[in-house]
Chains A and B, each alone.
Chain A
């Protein structure tokens, strides 16, 4: 469903990604793990169009999207729940969700029933329903994360990108996030998950890629990666 080949990207003088390749098959949860500065968020941004890659190919359902602006990539069915959540603070919870369906409401994606989908999100995240009319900026970190994920789901995306959904959340909430990911996996949603919490990510994922200094250091079925020393080394240094 999503294929990345030899992606090279960076910011100005600094080249962060030195040619990475990965695959996200339909219906699977693939995770990209690695320590900070390794390039995980850069990868997500290059895929969703927030930054323009210098070279490489990205294809979504067979269609080349590398270098397209983010609003066009979204219109083609790729949803990105960004690092830091980035909900719209002055809009209500309900409005945030509605905006997630913007391409559907403006006829670039099949419209379907937006209200019904919003209800489904509320069922998945009951706390959001309680706060549906509150401004999103007043929500707690965990609630904002739920909102960001729900907002991305409102697109009915072909592929869902999740960038560090657990960042800055209290441990109990992290558990909730991963439980949600399990639910989504059960629903057959295709996901690419970037996480710092390697162990939890590898538990929930089908397949994993380990990113180190802008290159894929290891990859394989998640179960195998869990015991792979390369993973530990990537985070805590070779001495360990």
Chain B
């Protein structure tokens, strides 16, 4: 059985399948004919509003869905864009092809002003800052009435194209075109190396930094892009409403935007549009009591029946179910108890947020997709069982030797393997005057408060060597790793890599300089596919700017294609080609470790640091690992290996350094080190006499 038949169809595959294309085309068609089918201007206006909100929400999804930050300021960014258009039209009678780009630019600038300070530290700071911003903007709009007419608001007309002012339904098409443009823009960004960077920094910030993707920088980019889109939406909104006033851009609106993104479904294109529709229709829904009652009742009945079913069939336990069921039943009772919805709008709104946060974390679109996924898996499992039965029957039917039950998958010939390796590793020849030692650690001291983790350690690693670093727990090995990759800053001493000093530089800079690493606790980008993980490592190979990405210039296409090919070579080199589209978190543990190494190779490093790569691996995995390490070395890289598995270390290392209590206590080839009494003592502790001058006690009987 080939691997791909055993594993279910990859969930992480994001290329556009035929079904999606058909759905998208149908949706576009529906959008196009809508004003013809429903000529009521009220509904046309609502539809335009849904499209406008969608533009904003597609941007908000980048911040919330991809980078995982909470922004409570998008209503105010919306307002900034809105008022930019309003003021430019009111004061300067500027045309739309000036006002809309201006709205985008100014709102993006505002976004940068917020994001640059707020994202420097992890924590709820962006939420707090954007909340404050949200309040300020409303106040400023009110106060700066010399510019904005304050609470009086601004009135204007729809944009004019070639002298003809657009009508309501013509403007509708204008907005739909804007939405399509936004969809294209967002799609291109998120499918590119930029989108991968956004996802990566959420899945594992530390690995991102070490892969050269600076978490801070990309979070800021994400926020600025979303601000630009919010500004665009704001500008469109102004023309759509033909009257704007400060009250619109309130915190309530900001919260509605957040609810829309999570309820629709994060990390999708359809989720934000669905969310926009829900939020726009929400006031209508919440003012029609009868409708609300029926919906609440319907939902309660469905959920309660499911709960009963789940309890009876033992799929769920009582304590998991009682909260949502009680809440929904409470909502039904509540809906029949009140006479007027408007007073309770906000309460219902708050309850919706709570329910969505806990019970629909991937939104409606995500929920639908996961159900579809489960059906697909079940189908695949049934097919697989059927195939296995057939294979068994065939095997039973032909018990003679010489009949193979199924052909073995063709193994790649030696020629292709070499070609892959060539493509996978770009070590290149060292420069003529390059120092013999690729890494020189000189008297490095690392102290945390009163604790000395590394005590003036000197280490030289020869080019193209496999250098082992061993020592008991707490000896400083991980500290050394972290100081070499910029996670810690040395208190004193110098580190020279390829002759250049790297002590104190950031992780992203060190990655760019040519040092790559893996982690003790595997730090993969779990929700991304195997190929995408490697592509993040290849981030450095993209010189394309945002513009290149948006316009799909030849340069970008070349780089994207090159990256994909290179990623495929690396996966082939690591023996992971069969898993290419699988989500990284679904891989067996041994393969995850190999993937981490492959991702590190994508950085084109000259020095590869492996942090306990054999930890948790079974014996066959370890054999595979040592073979890979040898192959990597054969292609010109230098490796430093931290490991506890002595067999691994002794088997492949040329040279071994031993740390103990932050000091280097021995160094030499593996056999020397293994029989060095100081090393034995460091690990086994020798006897108590050698340790602290104490008599050994009379051996206590068991």
Contact = CB atoms under 8 A, between A and B. Distances in A.
Interface of A: 13-14, 16, 28-29, 35-37, 137-138, 140-141, 164, 166-176, 178-179, 182, 185, 195-201, 203-207, 220-223, 226, 231-232, 235-240
Contacts of B589: 13-14
Given A206-B701, A237-B650, A200 B474 contact: no
B473 A164 contact: yes
Contacts, number: 126
Contacts of A170: 661
Contacts of A236: 646, 674, 680, 683-684
B685 A235 contact: no
From B592, B646, B693, residue with most partner A Cβ within 10 Å: B646
B697 A140 contact: no
Nearest to B586: A13
A149 B163 CA distance: 85
Contacts of B700: 29, 185, 204-206, 222-223
Contact of A199 (B473, B650, B685): B685
A235 B694 CA distance: 24
B688 interface: yes
A175 B684 contact: no
Contact of B616 (A14, A220, A222): A14
A36 B472 contact: yes
B687 A203 contact: yes
A164 B472 CA distance: 11
Given A238-B647, A240-B674, A179 B692 contact: yes
A232 B687 CA distance: 14
A1 to B, nearest CB: 15
A39 B647 CA distance: 18
B701 A200 contact: no
Interface in B612-633: 612, 615-616
A206 B694 CA distance: 18
A28 B701 CA distance: 10
Contact of B702 (A140, A172, A201, A206): A206
Given A13-B589, A239-B647, A204 B697 contact: yes
Contacts of B686: 199-200
A235 B474 CA distance: 16
Interface residues of B, number: 37
B691 interface: yes
Nearest to A208: B702
B688 A178 contact: yes
B692 A221 contact: no
Contacts of B473: 36, 164, 167, 196
Given A29-B700, A168-B451, A221-B701, 18 more contacts: A13-B592, A14-B589, A35-B644, A166-B685, A171-B691, A174-B692, A175-B692, A195-B685, A197-B684, A199-B687, A200-B687, A204-B688, A204-B700, A222-B700, A223-B699, A223-B701, A235-B646, A236-B683
Contacts of B644: 35-37
B647 A237 contact: yes
Contacts of B674: 236-237, 239-240
Interface string B434-476: 0000000000000001110000000000000000000011100
9 contacts: A37-B645, A167-B474, A182-B697, A197-B472, A199-B687, A200-B687, A204-B688, A237-B674, A239-B674
A137 to B, nearest CB: 8
Contacts of A203: 687-688, 696-697, 699
From A166, A207, A221, A237, residue with most partner B Cβ within 10 Å: A237
A240 B616 CA distance: 22
Contacts of A176: 692
Contacts of B688: 175, 178, 199-200, 203-204
Contacts of B701: 206, 221, 223
A141 B661 CA distance: 12
A174 B472 CA distance: 14
Contacts of B702: 28, 206-207, 220-223
A223 B685 CA distance: 16
A17 B474 CA distance: 22
Contacts of A174: 685, 691-692
Given A14-B616, A141-B451, A221-B701, A196 B472 contact: yes
Interface string B668-688: 000000110000100111111
* Minimum-distance CB pairs A-B, first 4: A175-B692, A197-B685, A237-B646, A221-B702
Given A36-B644, A182-B697, A198 B684 contact: yes
Contacts of A200: 685-688, 691
Interface string B200-244: 000000000000000000000000000000000000000000000
A173 B449 CA distance: 20
Nearest to B477: A36
Given A37-B616, A198-B685, A201-B685, A172 B697 contact: no
A172 B616 CA distance: 33
B509 to A, nearest CB: 30
B474 A168 contact: yes
Contacts of B646: 35, 235-237, 239-240
B684 A16 contact: no
Nearest to B592: A13
Contact of A232 (B615, B645, B684, B697): B684
A37 B473 CA distance: 10
